[in-house]
Amino acid sequence: MDTTELENEHLEDKNIQSSITSQILKDDNTGEDEEIKEIVFSATEEETKPQVTESACPPQGRLNKCITNGVLLVMIWFAISSISSHGHYPDENSLGLLIVFCCSLIAGKLLEVSKIPSVPPLPPLLGMLLAGFTIRNAPYISEHVHISNEWSSTVRNIALTLILIKAGLGLDIQALKRLKSVCLRLSFGPCLMEACSTAVISHFLLNFPWQWGFLLGFVVGAVSPAVVVPSMLQLQEEGYGVEKGIPTLLMAASSVDDILAITGFSISMSIVFSTGGILHDLLTSFRDIIIGVLLGTFLGIFLQYFPSEDQIGVQKIIAFAWDIFQPLLFGLVGLEVSVAALKSDAIGISIASMSLALLVRISFTFFLVSFSGFNFKEKIFIALSWIPKATVQAVLGPLALETARVSSPHLEPYAKDVMTIAFLAILITAPNGALLINILGPRLLARHDPN
């Protein structure tokens, strides 16, 4: 028996070796056969797998997520309202916020899913802005939506905090190191130049005091990562401008640009609404900056170790919170603009002032990137991609109006003009900027094929 088994094993080894040898000799002719075998095997395997069909009920995907988040928000709303209101029923403020949130969310989703042939997708924040604007100016709806200034200001302050956190999380250290010189120029130069030019133009065209001119300049001088970053990510996935790092450059610089604008706005606010002298206000602002840098450095060192690397979910939490407050933010901004309060001549002068300052920004941006190794088409694209405005303007414009109402009512007309120009800046530059980025990107940037 042992001899027979050994002989059988020997014969099997010979058969295996001969089959391997013949397969190697026929290697050139078996490519198509192997592909046919793989196709037949995969088809047979798919037939044997159980077929899973997606049913329309219950809904799946994006619709399911919207319904889940909506129900969760309603539950949170009822819980907070039952505690805050005396009668344990939702008061008019919470009801108004819920209406603004739902309308803004629906308008943003409709604008996001609506596709116009040969036109790139528009940012959802534009639909949210128009939803609030419609609620404020619709004859019947505006009478039943009431939100106090305290509630509106609180929501916008929370949104401002989230914007600053998102700006810090959006910083790419490796991109800053690799493109540090041009990134620093692009982060500080266009914002400061537009702020200064806006101050000069508004002083002579709108009769703004100089301090209000600089406050307006830092409001409209910030670029919007909410528009720039998604568009750049799409271009980066398609390979446009990747070889020279253009999408990474614009995404990294947009966060620093926002931080600079918010800092300049805070300094201008302290000067505008202060009762002391200008020198005292400047010293106070400088002191606040030093304290902020020291506290930021300490907290940065602390956050380097806490939470630890094994604790994930921080960005997911911020992203979820931003999904809640983004419709509220842009809806409340649209809610502040009343057609009846707008003056026709003021709208024309405001658009003219904003357009002149924007031309200065585009020209100066083109000059700043002229000596950084980019060709003419790439410089044109970078300059035109640096114009969308949305998020920071939605927070800072109403903030000046709220401060004027509380502390200095005699300055409220200037604050209303700032609010109007901030609204017009979002309405004009956000959709046009998104269109320019998505249309000019494939035409002006070189495409890098990783294969």
- What DSSP string describes 237-256? HHTBTTTTTHHHHHHHHHHH
Average pLDDT estimate for 162-167: 73
User: pLDDT tens-digit profile of 308-358?
Assistant: 666 667 778 888 888 888 888 888 888 877 777 676 677 888 899 999 999
Q: Can you give the pTM of this predicted structure?
A: 0.70
pLDDT at res. 264: 92
pLDDT surpassing 70 at residue 23: no
- What letter does residue 271 receive in the DSSP assignment? H
pLDDT at res. 1: 46
Average pLDDT estimate for 62-78: 70
Residue 383: both structure tokens together: 């300059």
pLDDT at res. 37: 42
Rg of the chain on CA atoms, in Å: 29
Instruction: Assess contact for 194 and 425: CB atoms under 8 A.
Output: no
C-alpha to C-alpha distance for 102 and 38, rounded to whole angstroms = 50
pLDDT at res. 451: 62
| 3-class DSSP assignment, residue 447 | strand
Average pLDDT estimate for 196-212: 94
Q: Across the strands, what pairs with 447?
A: 240
Q: Nearest CA to 219 among 423, 355, 409? A: 423
Average pLDDT estimate for 192-221: 94
C-alpha to C-alpha distance for 46 and 240, rounded to whole angstroms = 37
Residue 426: both structure tokens together: 């979002």
> Pick the residue with more confidence: 445 or 306?
445
Lowest mean pLDDT among 86-90, 120-124, 234-238: 86-90
> Pick the residue with more confidence: 166 or 321?
321
pLDDT at res. 88: 47
Give the range with max mean pLDDT: 147-156, 265-274, 283-292: 265-274
pLDDT surpassing 70 at residue 52: no
Instruction: Assess contact for 433 and 227: CB atoms under 8 A.
Output: yes
pLDDT at res. 177: 76
pLDDT surpassing 80 at residue 364: yes
pLDDT at res. 309: 67
pLDDT over 70 percentage in the chain: 76
C-alpha to C-alpha distance for 335 and 399, rounded to whole angstroms = 14
Lowest mean pLDDT among 130-134, 215-219, 310-314, 330-334: 310-314
- Whether omega for the bond prior to residue 307 falls within 30 degrees of 0, making it cis, is yes
CA quadruple 233, 239, 241, 244: dihedral, nearest 10:
110
φ, ψ for residue 447, nearest 5 deg: -95, 130
pLDDT surpassing 80 at residue 107: yes
Average pLDDT estimate for 366-370: 91
pLDDT at res. 131: 92
Going by pLDDT thresholds of 50, 70 and 90, the confidence category of residue 209 is: very high
- Whether omega for the bond prior to residue 58 falls within 30 degrees of 0, making it cis, is yes
pLDDT surpassing 90 at residue 213: yes
pLDDT over 90 percentage in the chain: 19
Token pair 């400088």 in the structure block, residue:
286
Q: Nearest CA to 387 among 243, 240, 193? A: 193
pLDDT at res. 243: 84
> Pick the residue with more confidence: 425 or 53?
425
pLDDT surpassing 70 at residue 32: no
C-alpha to C-alpha distance for 228 and 168, rounded to whole angstroms = 16
Instruction: Report angle CA 196, 197, 203 to the nearest 5 degrees.
Output: 95
Please, what are the domains in the chain? 91-444 (1.20.1530.20)
> Pick the residue with more confidence: 45 or 370?
370
pLDDT at res. 289: 81
Q: How far is CA 407 from CA 4, 99, 270, 272, 336, in A?
A: 105, 29, 12, 11, 19
| 3-class DSSP assignment, residue 16 | helix
C-alpha to C-alpha distance for 428 and 419, rounded to whole angstroms = 14
pLDDT at res. 71: 72
Instruction: Assess contact for 406 and 98: CB atoms under 8 A.
Output: no
pLDDT surpassing 70 at residue 198: yes
Instruction: Report angle CA 83, 86, 88 to the nearest 5 degrees.
Output: 55
What average pLDDT does the structure give for the chain?
78
C-alpha to C-alpha distance for 346 and 232, rounded to whole angstroms = 35
pLDDT at res. 181: 87
Average pLDDT estimate for 141-152: 83
Going by pLDDT thresholds of 50, 70 and 90, the confidence category of residue 39 is: very low
- What letter does residue 343 receive in the DSSP assignment? -
pLDDT at res. 203: 94
Q: Nearest CA to 135 among 94, 91, 96, 109? A: 96
Going by pLDDT thresholds of 50, 70 and 90, the confidence category of residue 274 is: confident
Q: Across the strands, what pairs with 240?
A: 447
pLDDT at res. 249: 87
User: pLDDT tens-digit profile of 241-266?
Assistant: 888 888 888 888 887 898 899 889 98
Per-residue H/E/C for 288-333: HHHHHHHHHHHHHHHHHHCCCCCCCCHHHHHHHHHHHHHHHHHHHH
